[in-house]
Structure 1
Amino acid sequence: MFTNNKITKAVRIALIAGVASTSSVAFAADKNESTAEEVERVAVTGSRIQRTDMEGISPITVISREDLEVSGEVSVADVLRDSNFNSFGSSSESSGTGGGQQGIAGVSLRGLGADRSLVLVNGKRVAPSPAAGGGSANLNAIPMAAVDRIEIVSNGASAIYGSDAIGGVVNVILRKDYEGVSVAGAVGRPSQEGGDENQISLVMGVSGEKGSFVMSAEFSDREVIFSRDREYTKSAAGEKWADNTGISSNARNIRHLIDTDGDGGFDRIEWSALEDQCDTSLGFIGVQVREGSQPGTMCGYDYSKIAAETANLTNSSLYARGVYEVNDDVTFNLNTLATRTTSWGRFAPAAGNFNVTGTDMANDSVELADGESVVASRAYWRFTDNGPRDQRTDGSNFDMNMYLDGLTDWGTWTVGYHRNVANITNLGSGYINRPFAEQFAAEGTLTDERSIALMSHTISTFNKTDYASVNAGLGIDSLFTIGGNDVGAYFYAERTETTYVSQADDLSNASAVIGSAGGSAKGEREVTSLAAEFLFPLSDDLEVTLAARYDDFSDFGDNISPQLGATYNINDEWKLRASIGEGFRAPTFANLYSQSEGFPWLFVPGVGWGQYLTKTVGNEDLDAEKSDQFAFGIIGEIVDGVSFTLDYQRIEISDMISYESAANIWSKHQDGITLKPNTSITMIGNLPEELQATYINEGEMRAQFIDFDLRAVQETSFGEFRQNLAISYTLDYSTLEETSNADGETREVLLDQAGLRGLPQYRMNLGLAYIYEDHSITLTAKYIPTQLNRFELNENGTKYIASENDSAVSGQHTKIASYTDLDINYTWQAQDNLRLTVGARNLTNEDPRFRDVAESQYSSSLYSIQGRTVFAGFKYDF
């Protein structure tokens, strides 16, 4: 088997050369650290077979401990958000998000979604977060101080790990070998208001003849950023209603449906502000004239004066790992991790709308001509007297993984037990009891002290997942030989049980709360899994890998995921790899069992845009998504110290679990198309009163990517220079969309959306580092290219650019400008046991890139609103 060549050496050099695919180039290793040639790896993410060659059929990017320390980031989620594999951005802690989601963060590899990106810790699946509907992991439950490195597999790996690994795998490997005591701390201060960061950690470890023990403790917090703290998140009021930006009509207004011809139906819409209730001291902007098809007067509300954009987040964690050598051939391992995450966020006061026909509120606020009558009136009311909606979440996570590892003459074996219990409690004040509100609206007593007290409601949601796994693995060094080379194999079996509970308060379950969405849900899942992997060294230069996994789910069925791959060493400097396989994603608990309520916007002909009650229910008849994947890559060393990887990947997903939204239901209703099962619409005249949405297995996706990674290290008499260029280019990101030809005929086509707004064509990171004796300086540039914001489709479903001259009319830029984020870091090894760091993220204080001319609409998944953040830190080893 070809194991100790220049390719392996080049990859090992890359491990300490830094990772621009995240956010930095690693700091110089300690003076007594081993050289790159001495690094050995016995296992790699994406395979269970131990090997000496570091590059298998799957491309792997490594984020080292040094990369984490010089990044200036305070969480694992922040580091992964900077990766070029985070193609279209990922979710972050957002203020006011209900159901406990406010304090969680995930990663979406390739833009395929957090539910299709598997997260592991020490090679074991991270239990799904209860606040994410039991579908994806919460990265905030993984403490930075405990992390040794992060390995990212950037193609599918369902044949090894099962469900959710369609987009790739993130394996967070925690510390296992450490001796001594280390204290580290850091602070970050944005140049704009809000978002201050603080972090402190302690790591200690001991080792002896029979084993080792490592422990870490960490505390970190990040303050809230209010909407008023950034110019682009503030609302702006103009002289007339049409001139406003970010002003809400859910304030103190009545919408009247008026019958002008006496036929009982409505013929026009008119708005009227409740002038005596539009108090500017409460956040309202006063009464304005509304023109156009729905004229009248309007009272607007400036929610940006009180609402928050991001949540305050506090993390505390304790991690411990013990290894005990039972005998020369057997070791006992115990990993425990306990975290607590709390968050606080704020929404503006609740806003609701309800019928007020026949009340004084309705009749006294509109002038009618002879023969006209009000068919219906609906109040749009902001409950400012009840205060803002404050969300507080308190989450705990306990993870224990114990296992025995054995070594025999013929291979290895392992038997383990993994248990994870996660709880998240969400309390939200400032919400409104809907039945009381409707009663008091009819009585005209909404602002009475008694009414305010009776209407006030605190929502509560308790979320829990309980995950347990029993697993066993058997590695065989040599099943037989081919040409004198050993054929290796690994067999794996696992049984998991997961319970999911999301329990809301009784009023929320009854959909009787204004300003909140969501109800209770629960489910159970048992999975039995069997997997096998074989490594065939057909020659010294050619290896073939065959893997397959069978998963049997108690709640929807079973699945088989095969994979075939090969690597070929062209010579000492060049290597090829390729793989083909199938994957799948199981429905989440939220897909199957959720209940929620919202008010999405819909366009009604003759009426215009409005918000309409939509209830979402889970679909227990869902099947798994299926994927087909192909990957091909080349690894090479151009000259000594300069290496690269170039990889191509194609993914096709069928039976996609998609949300049949209110917009889709309303469109089908208008076109006379039969609605999907479990969806419905209730009409009043020509207005939708209530819609029911759900999840369905209907959708296709085709995606293609090219990844290029170039790393270089030059050692000179006046220091060491390191460079890393990482690019992930999306060749194709096609989803099934509906388009019409010139004759009005509709059909579904796969529309390539790469390059459209929120879906940049590529992500590029460049890292540069200079190291001289005890000093190092790194500069990282993270680039997001221009995106197409306004576009139209021709009859073939191909996008083309809309006129670039209509921005003044539409208020939207045709293209979203490119974005470059510069980070700088200086590190000084002041003493053998003291390291000092200072730097800045977003050095040039770039704002997000905006879709609209007024500069208020941007992608919170792609762009941070922290602004320039100066940070400083230390690490002291005792």
Structure 2
Amino acid sequence: MHQRKQIAVAVAVAISSMSAYAQTADTTTVQSVEVTGSRIKRAAAEGALPVTVVTRAQLEDSGAVTIAEFIRNSTFSSAGQPRPQSGSSAQSFAGANLRGLGSERTLVLVDGRRVAKAPNRGDAADMNSIPMAAVERIEILTDGASAVYGSEAIGGVINIILRKDFDGVYYSVGRTKTNIDGGDREEASAMIGMTGEKGRIIAGMSKTKRDIIFVRDYPWGAAQGASVFANTWYAATSDGEGGFLPVATQGGFRGNAGACNDPGRGFYIPAGQTRCRYDFNLVAADEAATGATSIYARGEYKIGADFNAYVTMSNTNNTSFGRYAPVPDYIEVQANAPGNTSTTPGQRVFLAHRFAAAGNRDTSTDGNLLDMSLGVQGTAGGFDIDAGVRKTKSHLVETGRGFVVKGLATTAINNGVYRTDDPFLNSDTVLKSITTTTGRDSLFQSTEFYASATHDVFSMAGGMSRIYASLEHRKEVYSDLYDSLSEAGEVLGSSGSSAGGSRKVDAASVEWLFPITKTLEANLAARFEKYSDYGNDFSPKASLRWAPTRALTLRASVGRGFRAPTLPDITAKPAFSADDIVDLRHCLADGGFTAAQCASQAFQIQALRISNPNLGSEKSKQFSFGGAFDVNQSFTVKADYWNTEITDVISFVSAQEIVDRDNGDVANPIPNGLSITRDPATGAILKIVAGSTNEGLLKYSGVDVGATFTHKYANAGKFKHDLTWSHAFKSEVNGTENNGTFGSPKNRVSLNNSWGLGMVDVAWNVNAIGKNGDKEDLYVSTYTTHDLQATVSPGFIKGMKLSVGLVNAFNKQPQLVSNTSKPFNYDLYDAYGRQAYFRLEQKF
């Protein structure tokens, strides 16, 4: 709240400094602008790099309420992108993922400056932290750009340009109703802008909210979940390593009937069976409830004949709530313990138990992103100068309730204090004695100083050669702290390894524009970055633009990029884990199994997962070529081929992979810092140290095709059609081709149609996600949805606009095909069904 008061005071001061308000826009000159991918300003036109510009009108026609929703539905999100989901370790996170290269390889900017990383991820920006109401346009660069922006810009760049030129007062309200129960959404925003002789200011606020969706409310949610973690006794195998057998196979079976005859609470015995089951679909949620409240302001003030000062401030509060089914686990009960009520007295047993009486696992997050910058822009001595300081602070607190401490629960069950015959008869005191409230406190903070200058160097046949140079200094501070019980692995259904550290980054970049002729233009760029914790990186790039005619523009680029190891990669604390492995030597040392049986016998071993302070950066090489052709004044086509190769990929090497490398089943050696320790006499595994290293090779390539056709008629209005098609040629990971496999469709297509006549505008958008998967295994056919919107701007109320629409008008549902606990591919599809919405906007 204090941060918001600071912003409000600053807005009031800026407003009071302006004594006259009059629009001074000059519409007769061509404005030079900075286009994503280059720091040198020029007249807006087709450039040497493939940049897609999404206008404010296109954002509004899409029916999306958040930037994350819009980007997720673009053809460039070939593999979808992460979105808020109940119960995940990053429940509130919504990331961008261009080309399927990962959120950690997609750079997100606001007005050309990088957005702070989400502290519960530490490697990517949360798209939900940027209010869509404040956005003027979005520029999507589908080419590597480390030479201009530095780390992470391997898959591409999403540059979100905020509103700056606005005069008047504006507000909007809207609501969306989904076809299923849950997922409904609300939105509201307001903005004020003023322009005067000495400067201008814009300020606003926005609020969005989306409801939780429970599995039981999906069309398929009525089917009972059938978890064996209910209330069933199992006998331990002789080796004690796991693989528990039902007591029924040993002469008699008894589920705890009192707890298994309560379907209203999720416990039941399926027809024709005797084993207890739990219906997790009854209480679990798939999509988390989310909410965001933002305030933002930008002011500019003339401080001299050639200089302006500017200040920008925004504060976004993001919240989420998710619900997971109650905690399940195997609890070991000793042979003669009072709590051993199985039908095999005197035998050590295990109870596959669901702690439903202790409540559901509910997780809430409360995050806050504060972003402030202060700078000056102007001209001095022939140099265009921009210098300033920027501070971002992203802080998130996560709270979990209904979690069970395994040690306390095991003791309570063994000594008979916790009743297993009907757990709902346990007193509140007993239940509280085995549960805990979990906590996580995460922070990502950045302080940045920057200065740049652009200068005309010499005249060439095509115009003036210009050079841009900049210096930047950035300090990042990161911490991710879990409660001590979760970090120690004592909490069922909750775990995490705390991490924290800081780094300094110094960068120098240069860009040089060469207008060789009136039709041929070359651009050279390079950036050097020095990191205080791991080393240096240098990224060069060259691009070429040739326009042999007014109608045709050809372009090409080649360059190198990098992704620095993240602070979580190199600072996470060691964490113990119990990993399952298959290993012949360990199996034979254990005894009781033949060599043939050992080929598939899994053992649980002690592993230590560590961060790697010796990690280096990932390296990339990319090139692209393509162009744009104006067939006539009404019809334009574009096509761009892209190719990206990434080496030294930061990859996690698991315990099983270390075993396989130790046995020679995999040719790669065990990386430095990781290890396996065996008993020298028997070969039994004593300990494995697993973690990340730099190895692996990614190869991706594809083509983006676009076409725009406009036509108008005196009595029939104006029509516009925009077609975009993204096709992947290659998605290769370490020699394995994933293109077209489940979750990696080869094609995404979008066709946006609009028609306007008088005060009425209509939009019809068609979105298609190509088939993906193997028909013999996981397979999803082509998925097509239609969005409709009608907008009326009644002349009798000046400045009013009313929009009504249907997202997914024909109620298309995703195919229930998945390789995770979710019933469908959560990154690519949603299950909202038809979404009817309205939006009322008013400008004064």
- TM-score w.r.t. length of structure 2: 0.87
The SS at the match of 2:506 is strand
Question: Which of 310, 318, 321 is the equivalent residue of 1:341?
Answer: 318
| Aligned-pair CA distance for 1:575 | 1.1
TM-superposed CA distance for 1:247, in Å, is 2.1
Q: 1:756 aligns with which of 722, 734, 741?
A: 741
Q: Compared with structure 1, are the counterparts of its residues 536 and 788 closer, same or farther at alpha carbon in structure 2 (3 Å cutoff)?
A: same
Deviation at 1:601, TM superposition (A): 7.7
The residue number in structure 2 matching 1:470 is 449
Percent of residue pairs bearing the same amino acid type: 30
Q: Name the Cα RMSD after superposition.
A: 3.1
Paired letter, 1:825: Q
Name the SS for the 1:508 alignment partner: helix
Matches within 5 A, 1:411-810: 411-447=383-419, 448-449=426-427, 450-476=429-455, 478-483=456-461, 485-595=463-573, 616-662=609-655, 664-665=657-658, 668=661, 675-677=670-672, 679=674, 693-717=690-714, 718-736=716-734, 750-789=735-774, 802=776
* One-letter amino acid of the counterpart of residue 724, structure 2: A
For 1:278, the equivalent position in structure 2 comes to 260
Q: What residue is the counterpart of 1:159 in the other structure? A: 147
Contact 1:232 1:856 in 2 (8 A): no
Query: For 1:58, which of 49, 62, 65 is the aligned residue?
Result: 49
Distance 1:308-1:211 versus aligned 2 partners, 3 A rule: same
For 2:838, the aligned partner's letter is A
- 2:365 corresponds, among 365, 387, 393, to 393
Match of 1:403 in 2: 375
Output the amino acid matched with 2:180: Q
Equivalents in 2 of 1:767, 1:380: separation in Å? 53
SS in 2 for 1:102: coil
**Using a 3 Å threshold, how does the CA distance of structure 1 residues 475 and 507 change in structure 2: closer, same or farther?**
same
In the TM superposition, residue 639 of structure 1 has moved relative to its aligned partner by 1.6
Structure-1 residue corresponding to 2:784: 820
Match of 1:740? none
The answer to whether the 8 Å contact 2:462/2:519 transfers is no
2:79 is equivalent to residue 97 of structure 1: no
Moved more, 607-616 or 497-506: 607-616
Instruction: Determine the C-alpha separation between the residues in 2 that align with 1:765 and 1:390.
Output: 38
CA distance, structure 2, for counterparts of residue 361 and residue 652 of structure 1? 62
TM-fit CA distance, 1:603: 7.7
Aligned match of 2:206: 218
Shift of 1:787: 1.2
- 1:565-600 CA distances to partner (integer Å, 9 max, x unpaired)? 111112111111001000000111222223567788
Q: Is the 8 A contact 2:212 2:322 kept in 1?
A: yes
CA distance in 2, matches of 1:733, 1:854: 21
Deviates more, 1:277-286 or 1:388-397: 277-286
SS of structure 2 residue aligned to 1:80: helix
More divergent stretch after superposition (595-604 vs 466-475): 595-604
Structure 2 counterpart of 1:731, one-letter code:
F
Q: Which residue of 2 aligns with 1:19?
A: none
Counterpart of 2:799 (choices 830, 833, 837) is 833
Residue-by-residue CA offset, 1:52-82 (whole Å, 9 max, x unaligned): 2522221111111111222221111011111
The reply to whether residue 74 of structure 1 matches residue 52 of structure 2 is: no
CA contact (8 A) 1:594 1:616 kept: no
Q: Secondary structure at the match of 1:95?
A: coil
Cα deviation 1:654-675 (Å, max 9, x = unaligned): 0101122355356557766675
Question: Unmatched 5+ residue regions in structure 1?
Answer: 1-31, 237-245, 291-296, 737-749, 791-801, 803-811
Q: Residue 329 and residue 580 in structure 1: after superposition, are their counterparts in 2 closer, same or farther (change >3 A)?
A: same
Q: Structure 1's 401 and 766: CA in aligned 2 closer, same or farther, altered over 3 A?
A: same
Query: Which residue number corresponds to residue 745 of structure 1?
Result: none
AA paired with 2:362?
D
Instruction: Output the CA distance in 1 between the equivalents of 2:317 and 2:99.
Output: 29
Query: SS where residue 631 of structure 1 aligns?
Result: strand
SS for the counterpart of 1:131 is: coil
Change in CA separation of 1:853 and 1:532 when aligned onto 2, cut-off 3 Å: closer
Matched, 1:315 2:315: no
CA shift for structure 1 position 265: 8.1
Structure 2 equivalent of residue 240 of structure 1: none
| Contact 1:465-1:501 within 8 A present in 2 as well | yes
Partner in structure 2 of residue 204 of structure 1: 192
SS of 2:407 mapped into structure 1: helix
Q: SS at the partner of 1:830? A: coil
C-alpha displacement at 1:769, in angstroms?
1.1
Distance 2:739 2:145 in 1: 24
- Given that 2:387 and 2:451 are in contact with CA atoms closer than 8 Å, whether structure 1 keeps it comes out as yes
SS at match of 2:213: coil
How many angstroms apart in 1 are the aligned matches of 2:471 and 2:393?
A: 22
Residue 511 of structure 2 aligns to a residue in which SS?
strand
Name the amino acid aligned to 2:722. N
Residue 843 (structure 2) pairs with residue 871 (structure 1): no
- Matched position secondary structure for 2:721: strand
| Greater shift in the superposed pair: 305-314 or 846-855 | 846-855
Deviations 1:656-711 (CA, angstroms, capped at 9, x unpaired): 01122355356557766675455567999999998654222121100001000101
The aligned runs of 1:282-297 (5 Å cut-off) are 282-286=265-269
**Cα distance, 1:102 vs structure 2:** 1.5
Match of 1:130 in 2: 119
Report 1:162-241 matches (<5 A). 162-236=150-224
CA offset at residue 172 of structure 1? 0.6
Give, in angstroms, the shift of residue 846 of structure 1: 0.9
Q: Deviations over 1:840-865 (max 9, x none)?
A: 10111111123279997311000012
Distance 1:639 1:394, change over 3 A: same
SS in 1 for 2:99: helix
- Return the letter of the residue paired with 2:804: V
Residue 13 of structure 2: aligned partner? none
Question: In structure 1, how many angstroms separate the alpha carbons of the residues matched to 2:530 and 2:820?
Answer: 52
The amino acid of 1:823's aligned partner reads D
Shift of 1:508: 1.8
Distance 1:60 1:767, change over 3 A: same
Given the superposition, is the C-alpha separation of residues 787 and 35 from structure 1 closer, same or farther in structure 2, using an over 3 Å criterion?
A: farther
1:283 CA displacement: 1.2
Q: Indicate whether 1:112 and 2:101 are aligned.
A: yes
Query: In the TM superposition, what is the alpha-carbon distance from 1:357 to its structure 2 partner?
Result: 4.7
The separation in 2 between residues aligned to 1:35 and 1:225, in whole angstroms, is 50
Deviations 1:750-795 (A, max 9, x none): 12111000000111101111111111111111101111235xxxxx
Q: 2:626, 2:640 within 8 Å by CA — same for their partners in 1?
A: yes
Q: Deviations over 1:810-863 (max 9, x none)?
A: xx55x3221001111001111331100000101111111232799973110000
**In 1, are the aligned partners of 2:732 and 2:738 still within 8 Å (CA)?**
yes
Asked whether the 8 Å contact 2:818–2:825 carries over to 1, the reply is: no
Residue 479 to residue 529, structure 1, CA distance change in 2 (3 Å): same
| Offset at residue 358 of structure 1 (A) | 3.2
Change beyond 3 A, Cα 1:362–1:231: farther
Instruction: From the superposition, tell whether residues 681 and 355 of structure 1 become closer, same or farther in structure 2 (CA, over 3 Å).
Output: farther
Letter in 2 for 1:271: P
- The reply on whether 1:48 has 2:39 as its aligned counterpart is yes
Q: What is the aligned partner in structure 2 of residue 851 from structure 1? A: 817
- Aligned length, in residue pairs: 785
Partner in structure 2 of residue 251 of structure 1: 230
1:231 partner SS: coil
* Matched-pair contact (CA < 8 Å) for 1:275–1:287: no
Q: TM-score, normalised by structure 1?
A: 0.84
Equivalent position amino acid for 2:547 in 1: N
Q: CA deviation at 1:525?
A: 1.1
Partners in 2 of 1:686 and 1:536 — Cα distance? 66
Hey, what does 2:250 align to over in structure 1? Answer: none
Task: Answer yes or no: is the 8 Å Cα contact 1:289–1:298 preserved in 2.
Answer: no
**What letter corresponds to residue 119 of structure 1 in structure 2?**
V
